[in-house]
Structure 1
Amino acid sequence: MLQPATLQFLKDLQKHNNKPWFDENRHRYDAAKTDFLQFTDEVIKVFGKKDANIASLTARECIFRINRDIRFSKDKTPYKRNLAVSLNKGGKKSVLAGYYFHLEPGNNSFIGGGVWQPMPADLQKVRQEIDYNLKDFQKILNAKNFKTIYGGLSEEEGIALSRVPKGYEADNPAAEYLKLKSFITMTNISDKELTDKGLLKQTVQAFETIQPLINFLNEALEA
């Protein structure tokens, strides 16, 4: 579970997203970060027994910075509204598929994973793998636990092409998947669940459910 104070810090940061306030409250940020790191290390410890690829990771090498890159953004607020961690074979900068935990108060938190906007060559590898092994891919997505927890792959705006990519026929049985530019899935977590004792078990179960998807994607990416 995460501490209520961690959520409260992020809620306050949303209202006071400026450097003077952050500097005055850095001790609260440090406490929130430590809380999130400890939770993540627990997840790695438990889930690492199920997926050896992330077992050697540490939370510190997987957590994202809270500072925003505002160089090319109209939004000049200096800090993110969330804490997030990505568990990938090779670390958070790896191009491989992995697991993701996003902490953002206001019932905007979620657990998920997959691969986000891979480079063209890697995207082609994934599409080719789906085209060649469509039945295996569909079996993963149609598994009972996957459907129950995630529903399916993300269909958010802009995540798919309007047409089947070049090199594939429009009537390809895998057309709906071949159009995708990212292969991710997620399930929301309420603020109440974040501070519940069952959060660790819930997170590990969610990661275990998408492990077959992560393995499928990484088999393609590592080919």
Structure 2
Amino acid sequence: MSSTTIPVTVAPDAFAFLENLAANNDREWFNANKKTFATELERPFVHLLETLSARLTDASRPLSGGKATVFRMNRDVRFSDDKRPYKTNLSGLLTPSGTKKELGGIVYLHLDAQGGFAAAGLYNLTPAQLGPIRDTMIADAKGFAEVKAALARAGRHFERTDSLTAMPKGYAEHAEHPHAEELKLKSLILREDLDRDAWLSGGVALRVEALARDAMPLLAFAETGR
């Protein structure tokens, strides 16, 4: 689709809400400000996911989302020493199925008081889920090299904070493999940081769409390895 500006914005009140929530993280304050949350934060966020869904219908791996793929603000405090009831960010997904029950490649969108970020790829997989993908990296080294080259041409690189320090169990013999550093990754993620201006100006949708499209070679490769 054409790379025209997409007028999806959040208002400054959205950031003010998140800042105030951090200082007043209790049910009484949240309930008194539910209308602001719904109109200034949740509604534009859902609209953004729906707009991106429409923009990505022609992608090689269509992705979609909306209200059903937005995560709840409530925190699960049952097993945590931190009893604050609410998250101080709003987040949601674009997935192949349009649901949150998705093991394939996704786009994650995160809005917080500073701005936030988007991420595309496969996040926090178990060793069992990673195994087939790692095996495909080894068996089809040329194919994965082409994926990395396509990402590099788009100015994208894997996020490496979620990486093992040594080769994963069962892969020690591949320590000299051309993709050894990627074999150590527990998540295959591309990240796009988004400052406040991206959300306020309407540029956020264009940037997230570009991230999703740039990630398509990775998502397609991961699909062959599942």
CA-to-aligned-CA distance 1:2-24 (integer Å, 9 cap, x gap)? 22222222222122111110010
* Partner SS, residue 190 of structure 2: strand
In 2, the alpha carbon distance for the partners of 1:103 and 1:192 equals 12
Unaligned runs of 5+ in 2: 1-7
Aligned 8 A contact 1:160 1:179 in 2: yes
Q: 1:110 aligns with which of 103, 117, 122?
A: 117
1:22 and 2:30 are equivalent in the alignment: yes
Matches for 1:30-179 after TM superposition, within 5 Å: 30-31=38-39, 32-51=41-60, 53-54=62-63, 57-90=64-97, 91-107=99-115, 109-143=116-150, 148=155, 150=156, 152-156=157-161, 159-168=162-171, 169=173, 170-179=175-184
Per-residue CA deviations over 1:49-73 (Å, capped at 9, x if unaligned) read 224542xx44022111111111222
SS at match of 1:193: helix
Secondary structure, aligned partner of 2:216: helix
8 Å CA contact 1:63, 1:85 repeated in 2: yes
Is 1:188 aligned to 2:196, yes or no? no
Residue by residue over 1:138-179, the C-alpha shift from the partner in whole angstroms, topping out at 9 and shown as x without a partner, is 32223366652x3x11111xx222221233312222211111
Structure 1 CA distance, aligned partners of 2:111 and 2:216?
A: 21
- The answer on whether the counterparts of 1:88 and 1:99 sit within 8 Å (CA) in structure 2 is yes
Aligned-partner Cα distance in 2 for 1:74–1:106: 25
How far apart, CA to CA, are the structure 2 residues paired with 1:2 and 1:51? 27
Query: Displacement, 1:196?
Result: 1.0
Q: Which amino acid letter does the alignment assign opposite residue 166 of structure 1?
A: K
Equivalent residues of 1:87, 1:98 under 8 A apart: yes
RMSD: 1.9
Residue 201 of structure 1, aligned match among 203, 206, 226: 206
The percentage of counterpart residues that share the same residue type is 27
TM-score by length of 2: 0.87
Question: Structure 2 vs 1, CA of residues 92 and 20 (structure 1 numbering), >3 Å: closer, same or farther?
Answer: same
Give distance in 2, aligned partners of 1:217 and 1:171.
Answer: 22
Change (3 A) 1:97 1:52: closer
Q: SS of 1:184's equivalent?
A: strand
Q: Normalising by structure 1, what TM-score?
A: 0.88
- Kept in 2, the 8 Å contact 1:83–1:104? The answer is yes
The 3 A distance-change label for structure 1 pair 210 and 68 is same
8 Å contact kept, 2:21–2:88 = yes
Q: Is the 8 A contact 2:56 2:62 kept in 1?
A: no
Q: The residue matched to 1:143 in structure 2 has which SS?
A: helix
Conservation of the 8 A alpha-carbon contact between 1:82 and 1:102: yes
